[in-house]
């Protein structure tokens, strides 16, 4: 039994949806061989049963050979046992392939999501990612699940055709020619079915994206009275998805109906011809019964073939979505020739002329908020820029090293569901004393004390049970627990009251003693405790110094800070 998740999901072929599916199939290895082998045995055993029953009838009734009847009954029992055992094994191998293909794809998408980081949200809508996880991965798994039965159906069809040819050339040719013609008759439906599946999948992704936007902004919508507007939009989009689903259902229902109708007509034709041949004495009664059994059995290979086509259509649509996500390249690529990791913590942005000295708390005040956000992105290597860490360019270091050494914390205060302590200690290296110290430094001890279970309380999805200020303080505790060499905090106290902000400003400097800390803020309470304040104007550092000195010497700085102080 293969253990999941896989140690390494492999390197997929992303040239197209078809090449990705072929890569998934090749990745199954011996499981694929086992599923095909047992699928052939399972299906051929079913195909041989009518022949054995026919021989038993001819021996027991026609020849009145009781010993022959017992012998053929024993053969029938043996074939049934083989068929049952092969069916169990085929199912085990097929389920194993489904799990492997589905979870291999899950791992690839999850790894890519982690690798892309913020790039993913810029290139792919949230609803699209949800649709990939909810539907597409299962459809990729279904494409390999059906392979064992399809191979068995093909071989069994050839076996039945051979048996019919040995008894009646006319009936054998009827099967050999008639079955492919039935498949060709169904073929024209498959193209529209694939197009309608793709259309429905596109609309479903858009609907999921709209739903995620509404859920994420529900509080804002209620505040401005916009629930009804977005409800109508969602209802309209839902109807479009429903209509697309109905169109898929029409094609699917026609395909399903033809799977029953065409084989039924075929069975009637074969039985009618067989009855005529039996009446003419050209075949025995046992062979007539066998022909009827063959005709009934042939409905199974035909249904399997159409099921295979249907699942491949869905898998191709799903794989195209998966390949799109897997083919996205992160904005910040890893260097192919990394330099040795520097020892010091001094961080310099040469574009803006900004310096964060080792061991100091540096506060950035900008005349435009976007300028400060852009600076924070460059300092964390989330945007290109001429930034060095202890004299070494960030783009000359592995991304993993930069993420470990420099942590950027923006204004998004999302908390993850589950155990609170696990959600705070994301690097899983802090003891209880360190966790409590970070919680205290973020002025969040009262939040933890008020929870049933304390640090081990269960956090609801997105931390919705907490207020905005509580989420911000807990998120600050989380980032403090990373113990990064350089910490870049963007407006870390924007959602708390003045008393709490003053407490955080005082404890933050103490908690981060000896390491470099950059805070983007124009709050006087934070500026008062800064070792250095850097005032950025027009994208460049215009002045540096203490808060009080800059107030005295820089009118532009004073205007920005005074705006913050005004009620």
Least confident of 41-45, 129-133, 203-207, 376-380: 203-207
Question: Residues 215-233: what's their mean pLDDT?
Answer: 54
Q: Given the DSSP bridges, would you call strands 516-520 and 486-490 parallel, antiparallel or unpaired?
A: parallel
CA angle 346, 370, 477 (to 5 degrees): 55
104 and 10 Cβ atoms separated by less than 8 Å: yes
Look at residue 530 in the predicted model and tell me its pLDDT: 92
Confidence of residue 202 (pLDDT cuts 50, 70, 90): low
Confidence of residue 352 (pLDDT cuts 50, 70, 90): very high
CA distance 117 to 412: 14
Q: Given the DSSP bridges, would you call strands 406-409 and 486-490 parallel, antiparallel or unpaired?
A: parallel
Question: Residues 218-224: what's their mean pLDDT?
Answer: 47
Look at residue 89 in the predicted model and tell me its pLDDT: 93
Third-level CATH fold of 347-565:
Rossmann fold (3.40.50)
pTM of this structure: 0.65
Look at residue 542 in the predicted model and tell me its pLDDT: 92
Question: Which residues sit opposite 486 in a β-bridge?
Answer: 406, 516
Confidence of residue 447 (pLDDT cuts 50, 70, 90): confident
| 279 against 446, higher pLDDT | 446
Break the chain into its structural domains and give their ranges: 17-326, 347-565
Confidence of residue 163 (pLDDT cuts 50, 70, 90): confident
Closest among 429, 465, 424 to 445, alpha carbons compared: 424
Confidence of residue 185 (pLDDT cuts 50, 70, 90): low
Tokens representing 100 are 């492997």
Confidence of residue 218 (pLDDT cuts 50, 70, 90): very low
- pLDDT at 424 exceeding the cut of 80: yes
Residues near 402 by beta carbon (within 8 Å), at least 6 away in sequence: 380, 381, 389, 394
199 and 241 Cβ atoms separated by less than 8 Å: no
Tokens representing 435 are 């966790």
Confidence of residue 283 (pLDDT cuts 50, 70, 90): confident
Tokens representing 109 are 């998408």
524 and 557 Cβ atoms separated by less than 8 Å: no
**Can you give 205-274 as a three-state secondary structure string?**
HHHHHHHHHHHHCHHHHHHHCCHHHHHHHHHHHHHHHHHHHHHHHHHHHHHHHHHHHHHHHHHHHHHHHH
433 and 481 Cβ atoms separated by less than 8 Å: no
Confidence of residue 220 (pLDDT cuts 50, 70, 90): very low
Q: What 8-state DSSP symbol labels residue 532?
A: E
Residues 42-78: tens digit of each pLDDT: 988 988 888 888 777 777 665 566 777 778 788 888 8
What class has domain 17-326? mainly alpha
Give the Å distances, CA to CA, from 169 to 54, 166, 177, 283.
18, 7, 12, 11
Phi-psi region of 391 (alpha: psi -120 to 50; beta: other; left: phi over 0): left
- Over the chain, what is the mean pLDDT? 81
Look at residue 259 in the predicted model and tell me its pLDDT: 67
CA angle 27, 130, 238 (to 5 degrees): 130
Look at residue 272 in the predicted model and tell me its pLDDT: 79
Question: Residues 306-331: what's their mean pLDDT?
Answer: 83
Element (H, E) at 184: helix 169-216
Element (H, E) at 517: strand 516-520
Look at residue 386 in the predicted model and tell me its pLDDT: 92
Is the CA virtual torsion 483, 484, 487, 490 positive or negative? negative
Q: Given the DSSP bridges, would you call strands 458-459 and 418-419 parallel, antiparallel or unpaired?
A: antiparallel
Question: Residues 216-240: what's their mean pLDDT?
Answer: 60
Least confident of 395-409, 429-443, 458-472, 486-500: 458-472
183 and 305 Cβ atoms separated by less than 8 Å: yes
């Amino acid at each position: 039994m293969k253990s999941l998740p896989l140690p390494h999901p492999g390197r997929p072929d992303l040239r197209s949806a078809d090449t990705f599916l072929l890569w998934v199939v090749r990745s199954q290895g011996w499981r694929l061989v086992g599923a095909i082998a047992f699928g052939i045995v399972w299906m051929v055993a079913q195909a041989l049963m009518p022949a054995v029953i026919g021989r038993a009838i001819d021996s027991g009734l026609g020849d009145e050979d009781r010993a022959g009847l017992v012998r053929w009954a024993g053969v029938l029992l043996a074939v049934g046992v083989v068929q049952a055992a092969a069916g169990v094994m085929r199912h085990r191998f097929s389920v194993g392939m489904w799990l492997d293909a589905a979870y291999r794809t899950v791992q690839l998408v999850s790894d890519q999501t982690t690798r892309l980081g913020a790039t993913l949200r810029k290139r792919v809508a949230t609803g699209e990612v949800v649709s990939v996880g909810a539907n597409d991965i299962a459809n990729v798994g279904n494409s390999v699940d059906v392979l064992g039965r399809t191979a068995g159906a093909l071989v069994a069809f050839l076996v039945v055709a051979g048996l019919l040819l040995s008894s009646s050339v006319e009936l054998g040719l009827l099967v050999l020619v008639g079955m492919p013609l039935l498949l060709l008759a169904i073929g024209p439906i498959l193209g529209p079915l694939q197009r309608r599946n793709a259309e429905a999948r596109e609309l479903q992704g858009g609907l999921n994206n709209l739903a995620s936007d509404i859920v994420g902004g529900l509080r804002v919508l209620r505040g401005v009275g916009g629930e009804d507007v977005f409800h109508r939009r969602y209802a309209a989009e839902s109807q479009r998805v429903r209509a697309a689903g109905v169109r898929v259902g029409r094609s699917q229902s026609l395909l399903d109906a033809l799977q029953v109708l065409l084989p039924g007509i075929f069975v009637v034709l074969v039985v009618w011809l067989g009855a005529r041949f039996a009446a003419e004495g050209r075949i025995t009664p046992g062979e007539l019964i066998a022909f009827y059994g063959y005709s009934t059995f042939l409905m199974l290979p035909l249904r399997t073939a159409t099921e295979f086509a249907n699942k491949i259509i869905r898998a191709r649509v799903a794989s195209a979505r998966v390949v799109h996500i897997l083919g996205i390249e992160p904005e910040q690529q890893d260097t192919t020739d990394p330099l040795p990791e520097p020892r010091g913590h001094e961080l310099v942005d040469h574009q803006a002329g900004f310096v964060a000295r080792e061991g100091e708390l540096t506060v950035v005040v900008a005349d435009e908020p976007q300028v400060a956000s852009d600076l924070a992105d460059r300092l964390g290597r989330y945007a290109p820029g001429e930034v060095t860490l202890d004299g070494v360019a960030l783009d000359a270091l592995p991304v993993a090293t930069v993420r470990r050494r420099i942590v950027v914390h923006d204004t998004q205060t999302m908390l993850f569901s589950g155990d609170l302590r696990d959600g705070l200690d994301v690097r899983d290296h802090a003891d209880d004393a360190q966790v409590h110290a970070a919680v205290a430094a973020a002025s969040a001890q009262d939040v933890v004390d008020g929870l049933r279970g304390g640090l081990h309380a269960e956090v609801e999805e997105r931390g919705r049970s907490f207020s905005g200020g509580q989420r911000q303080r807990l998120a600050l505790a989380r980032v403090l627990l990373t113990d990064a060499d350089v910490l870049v905090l963007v407006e870390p106290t924007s959602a708390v009251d003045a008393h709490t902000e003053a407490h955080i400003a005082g404890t933050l400097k103490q908690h981060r003693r000896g390491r470099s800390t950059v805070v983007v803020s124009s709050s006087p309470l934070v500026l008062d405790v800064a070792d250095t304040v850097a005032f950025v104007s027009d994208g460049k550092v215009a002045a540096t110094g203490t808060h009080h000195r800059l107030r005295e010497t820089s009118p532009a700085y004073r205007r920005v800070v005074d705006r913050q102080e005004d009620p």
